[in-house]
Amino acid sequence: MTSRIYNFSSGPAVLPMPVLERARDELLCLPGVGVSALEISHRSPWFEGVLADTEQELRRLVGIPDNYKVLFLQGGARLQFSMIPINILRGTNKPADYVVTGSWGTMAQGEAKREGTVRTAYSSKATNFDRLPAKAELDLDPNAAYVHVTSNETIQGVQYASDPEAGSAPLVCDSSSDFLHRPVDISKYGLLYACAQKNLGPAGVTIVIIRDDLLARSDKNLPSMLNYQAYAAEKSMQNTPPVFAIYIVNLVLKWLRNDMGGLEKMLDHNRRKAKLLYDVIDSSGGFYRGHAQPAVRSLMNVTFRLPDDAAQDRFLKGAEAIGLEYLKGHRSVGGMRASIYNAMPVAGVEKLRDYMRDFAKKG
């Protein structure tokens, strides 16, 4: 195959074309450096510049206040399911509250239980994670060490449309599958984290934005590779960071600022794209049934079912035949999931919309 398909995978996911083109052009030789980003030492002036610039780009794009550190870690978002309680729950003699609105929140809570006392402030498991809590439904402990939420549940396609409200304890947010799809007010969070392989770049780097008072909680006797403070002290260079992944994140951040015009514009763009698909679902007379309740539908992962398994198989085969791929939903939800992250072009979503309309007509 020589031409690109439209890749609706939930992650690793589609990257912006200008980023891929630049990486291709520089793959054999970074201009003026003479080696590629796959080969270069992390102690080189080139990479130290890239790392510092990536942090600056992120701080500027998102508006990260000075009393927050930005860490570039490995081990994926799942390592954070453990590092968070190890660093900011251990030793507090307090519980951690978890707002469980999908599979990832469930997993995050499960890991935290290995570390300390964990409460369920809310769970939508009984309705297969199709909704988010109203404020009055949250059973929060005001004394909690933190409250953990998942801003976008990638598998269920359930998303907070704005920064979640979660009481007085520090808010900790897994933003792995929607970071940078809209502006966020970082000052509302104690800690926000995201793996890269959806909206930020390739797999291999995870970003943690942590407020200084939470950073101060890490026990100095923790293994250094699990210790936020140690990463902050070494500016994410305790060991070899994922050089290539961070280089791509740098290019994606520049693409967001220069080509997409920043996060407000990115949000408009994402809203328009998601509406194309939700409109087809809503006007299909029940042929397509969305999983998430309409008020909390994700702009990133559009989840829907067809009338039966046979129709779903035909749908997937027909889609693949015209270059619309990786649309099969997670088995716990069934049906389809179209992941339409920042870098998914409008043309890809329009092609899927047209295919869905035609398919529903034919039945």
As given in the structure block, the two tokens for residue 134 are 């109203």
Report the alpha-carbon distance of residue 218 to residue 129 in Å, rounded: 33
Instruction: In angstroms, give the least distance from the CB of 270 to ligand PMP.
Output: 16
Q: How many CB atoms lie within 10 A of CB 332?
A: 11
**Number of chain residues interacting with ligand PMP (CB under 6 A):** 11
Helix (H, G, I), strand (E, B) or coil at 347: helix
Q: What is the DSSP letter of 328?
A: B
Q: Out of 154, 159, 199, 250, which residue is the one contacting ligand PMP (CB under 6 A)?
A: 154
Q: Residue 234 corresponds to which amino acid?
A: E
β-sheet bridge partners, residue 290: 304
Number of H helices, E strands in the chain: 10, 14
Least separation in angstroms between residue 103's CB and ligand PMP is: 8
CB of 281 to ligand PMP, least distance (A): 22
CA 195 to chain centre: 6
Closer to ligand PMP at the Cβ: 99 or 195? 195
Q: Is 150 in the site for ligand PMP (CB under 6 A)?
A: yes
Please, what is the Cα angle at 261 between 255 and 267, to 5 degrees?
Answer: 100
For the chain, the straight-line distance linking the first and the last C-alpha, in angstroms and rounded, comes to 30
Neighbours of 140 (CB within 10 A): 17
List 72, 104, 146, 231, residue binding ligand PMP (CB under 6 A): 104
Binders of ligand PMP among 255-294, rule CB under 6 A?
none
Alpha-carbon torsion, ordered 165, 190, 113, 110, to 10 deg: 60
CB of 51 to ligand PMP, least distance (A): 20
Residue 155 or 251 with smaller CB distance to ligand PMP: 155
CA distance 340 to 198: 9
Query: Which residues carry out catalysis?
Result: 104, 174, 198
Task: Indicate whether 342 belongs to the interface with ligand PMP (CB under 6 A).
Answer: no
- Is residue 129 within the footprint of ligand PMP (CB under 6 A)? no
- Supply 22's token pair: 């630049």
111 in contact with ligand PMP (CB under 6 A):
no
Binding mask 67-86 for ligand PMP (x = CB under 6 A): ---------xxx--------
Of all residues in the shown chain, the one whose CB is closest to ligand PMP is: 76
Choosing from 123, 177, 218, 284, the residue that interacts with ligand PMP (CB under 6 A) is: 177
Q: Which is nearer to ligand PMP, 176 or 227 (CB)?
A: 176
Between 87 and 177, CB nearer to ligand PMP:
177
Distance of CA 363 to the CA centre of its chain: 34
Contact flag: residue 195 with ligand PMP (CB under 6 A): yes
Nearer to ligand PMP, 30 or 300 (CB): 300
C-beta of 98: minimal distance to ligand PMP in Å?
Answer: 13
Q: Which of 87, 159, 176, 303 touches ligand PMP by CB under 6 A?
A: 176
* Cβ within 8 Å of residue 358, ≥6 positions away: none
Q: Which is nearer to ligand PMP, 176 or 236 (CB)?
A: 176
Q: Which residue has the tokens 């550190």?
A: 69
Which residue, 198 or 254, is less far from ligand PMP as judged by CB? 198
φ and ψ at 128, to 5 degrees?
A: 50, 40
What gap in Å lies between CA 175 and CA 208, rounded to an integer? 10
259 with 18: CB under 8 angstroms? yes
Are 119 and 146 in contact by the 8 Å Cβ rule? The answer is no
Nearest-approach distance from CB 233 to ligand PMP, in angstroms? 24
Minimal distance in Å, beta carbon 124 to ligand PMP?
15
Q: Which residues bind ligand PMP (CB under 6 A)?
A: 11, 76-78, 104, 150, 154, 174, 176-177, 195
